[in-house]
Amino acid sequence: MENTEIIIALAQRVTDNVEKVIIGKRREVQMTLIALLCEGHLLIEDVPGVGKTMLARSIARSIGCSFRRLQFTPDMLPSDVTGVSVFNQKTLEFEFRPGPIMAQIVLADEINRATPKTQSALLEAMEERQITVDGVTYPMEAPFLVLATQNPIEYEGTFPLPEAQIDRFMMRLSLGYPLPADEMRILESQRERHPVQDVTQVVTAAELLTAQAAVKQIYADDLIKEYIVDLANATRRHPDVYLGVSPRGSLALFKTSRAYAALQGRNYVIPDDVKALLETTFAHRLIISPSARIKNVEARAIVEQIAGAVPVPGMRAKVTK
């Protein structure tokens, strides 16, 4: 099978399976899969009760990966995330008891309720795929994905995510309220039991790793790379932006564009693929200047403005030798 066929087949199976639980949100489910295919982490920012936790559970069940849920609270300690070394009186040695972060898919629920000290326990795991406890480093099992949620409305007892934490999320998205017809289907689907209990494994972790490798083979011309860099530089020069997109943000847009192109049935990236992922990869990384915040300027509006201002490159044929 070609790379695109491998990716589409896996995405189709997982999407159809997850949609048994998450009704009417096919685009959001596909965006979650793009993050998974690109070995990235996802921040879901939305009001309570729209299915953020169920999305994570459904994805984990569909892939057959280990899944752990972390409920972040103000009194949580870093050791509650990473694990702790405990002294064994029989062996007279310290034994490491892994924390919930050592799962393959980790749901960090209400991540902004934890203190910055506890939030920082995720930094090494998310970027370097490892944790260090008492001077000993433990690698994470692949595939590894952190799905974090936060409520943008509630401010009591919350701590804003630091820039270093936000930048480690490849994408940010919102599920939003369902349409009335979809909400009727949700009511009907949960008349007797929750449909997440009927979600079964449809792909293996090995198949996901194969699809992740296939995404890396999707072709992106140098003009596409220049376009991505130009978009990132435009955020850094924008008068309403205090801190623009980092090179990690450019890399996130580059990776997700390749996965998006594959899901469209192409083995090459076009500018429309880049534009489709621009808001979900860039908007959460922008730090708006104080003067712009007073005028209620939003990051999404800045991204849209930049997308319209930066020239779209022409395409050239790939030269084969």
Q: Where are the domains of the chain?
A: 3-78+104-213, 218-309
Using CA atoms, how far apart are residues 290 and 46, in angstroms rounded to an integer?
24
Fold of 3-78+104-213: Rossmann fold (3.40.50)
Per-residue pLDDT of the chain in tens (321 residues, 90 and over written 9)? 577 888 888 889 988 888 888 888 888 888 989 998 998 899 988 777 777 888 888 888 888 888 888 888 888 888 888 888 887 888 878 888 888 888 888 888 888 888 888 888 888 888 888 888 888 888 888 888 898 888 776 666 677 787 888 888 999 988 888 888 888 888 888 877 787 777 888 888 888 889 999 999 999 888 999 999 999 999 998 888 888 889 999 999 999 999 999 999 898 999 999 999 999 999 888 888 888 888 888 888 888 888 888 888 775 555 544
284 and 111 in contact (C-beta within 8 Å)? no
**CA-closest candidate to residue 41, choices 113, 118, 104:** 104
Q: How far is CA 28 from CA 18, 22, 35, 150, 176, in A?
A: 11, 9, 11, 16, 10
Return the residue matching tokens 């804003």: 160
**CA-closest candidate to residue 22, choices 77, 72, 81, 62:** 62
CB-based burial of residue 145 (10 Å sphere; 0-12 exposed, 13-18 middle, 19+ buried)?
buried
CB-based burial of residue 309 (10 Å sphere; 0-12 exposed, 13-18 middle, 19+ buried)?
exposed
Fold of 218-309: Helicase, Ruva Protein; domain 3 (1.10.8)
pLDDT of 318 reads 53
Question: Which tens digits make up the pLDDT trace of 14-65?
Answer: 888 888 888 888 888 889 899 989 988 999 887 777 778 888 888 888 888 8
**115 — phi, psi (to 5°)?**
-70, 160
Q: How far is CA 147 from CA 60, 104, 240, 286, in A?
A: 11, 11, 30, 20
20 and 195 in contact (C-beta within 8 Å)? yes
Handedness of CA 255, 173, 25, 58 (dihedral sign): positive
SS3 84: strand
